[in-house]
Structure 1
């Protein structure tokens, strides 16, 4: 956005105490409306440039010029009211000459000058400020760009956090920004260096956002890995106990080792290492599942054989087969196999199935056995 070209203040019509012609007043009011709008736009740009500049006293001068402009604006509003959309009579037009050439009220925050003098003073203040702040009406609004740049640098400082390398990068950009402000205060053309710094900060801010996201992801991944490792470490003693019990209670138990989670070490620092570490943890987790299934299977089968054996005995009592010495011997033999420690699960399974066969109902005469 370009700074608007300054306009010359309009010439005031008539003299104090005379009824000014309506056509002259209409032309003057229209020109004053244009001038006040253009001057206010210039003052806004100068205010922004003053905040971006280190020139001493420039801000207070802008405030003074804005105060003068407001007094002019208020007097112009009074003129518009008296003008009454062109219905002002001779008396009203004489009153307007007093408003134009008479002094402004001190309550309006300006010196005791007339509207005409206030317009000249305000215009002179704008010219002086433009010279002091090296504002070229045809140049880009560097003050606005510098404000945007400073805001981006603040975001970069926040995004850098405690990363030493990122903090150093942002500090370098901040030094370049201060150097640009010093050059602006001296009236130098900083368009090229400013564009380079804007580009560097924009790329840097994007990179810092990505790096920040990656850091947060890494923190979450490390926390998840630490939680998984802790859960596996807590599960490991249970598997050792299960393996010891299986070796103690079962003949020919599985020969699987329980992985040692502690051998994986601590959770690493980098993302690639964390991903590899988590994959190793997943491998250990699958190994734990395999070990648990392998050692618990014969123990579960032994318990199941006990349950089945007692069920078959109840059936034998019901159908009277338990009275047979052969059936009773089959039960005793199967029970001994199931209860013996360590238990030969294969033999126990065979004897339980044999007892199941013995407890079947005897076939009636002429009936095929079931």
Structure 2
């Protein structure tokens, strides 16, 4: 099972461009691989007649994946191909290390950062895989032991964030898991089949890691509604800038582009500090968050249509080459016209769709001869 990449920087820091670029590439790869893993688990559950048994866990894991994917889109839009000054790099830091709020699909309004959400998704996916017990051979056992070691190291870091009143208990739990894993590892090195012993440790470690992440997030959120409002507002400000950049990219790329207003977070005014005002302010923040999410999805979908149309034309051209008809004058001219229109800024999508369809029609005619 793949694990989420390590996020660079920290909140309030202008992250170095090279680190942002590497993280985006690694996060994109992780998102794609994780989606494939979840699809595999879903198919396995249905094939085994256990779809209802894992439905709630699967829904939660997919919702969290979607929230992470949405935040990746905003970071990628702010990155803008590397055209980032200090201000943009600080916004990216806020998008990575700020909170993912409930309006973005996080369960129960859970306030976690992007790296925490990724680790939590890793833990939930591991729990699903363990429940379904997809593999048990010796090679898989070695991989599972290695993944458990990595998970326990993540847990060690998380334990360090526990308050003094509960840290000793968490340390003892971690020590117990590590001791049991060492015993299993020793047996595996001697050639024993330890598949049945790994399952319980994996489940306990996943539950423990999940509880630590959730507990830490809830402690942060419970400090004060004012602190929570300030965190959410800071995140919304970063998201507002990212959605504005995404909207600008969409308007410059496709015609006709969606036209949705991006909410102005500044218009909400400063965060109030009185108990009778803070609840109403939090509700207004949540409405702005939902509006930002709606606008983000509309602009991202419009950009995706352009990307998909280019990919469709590429596929048709590849088929024409495979059939040995790509040099046909009609196909060459049809491709030239389609690519010319798709390369416009903005590209008239209705015309581009017709031209790609025209290329497909010529291809069908040439291959039918």
- TM-score under structure 2 length normalisation: 0.38
Q: Compare CA radii of gyration and give the structure with the larger one.
A: 1
TM-score of the pair, normalised by structure 1: 0.38
For CA contacts below 8 A with separation 6 or more, give which structure has more relative contact order.
2
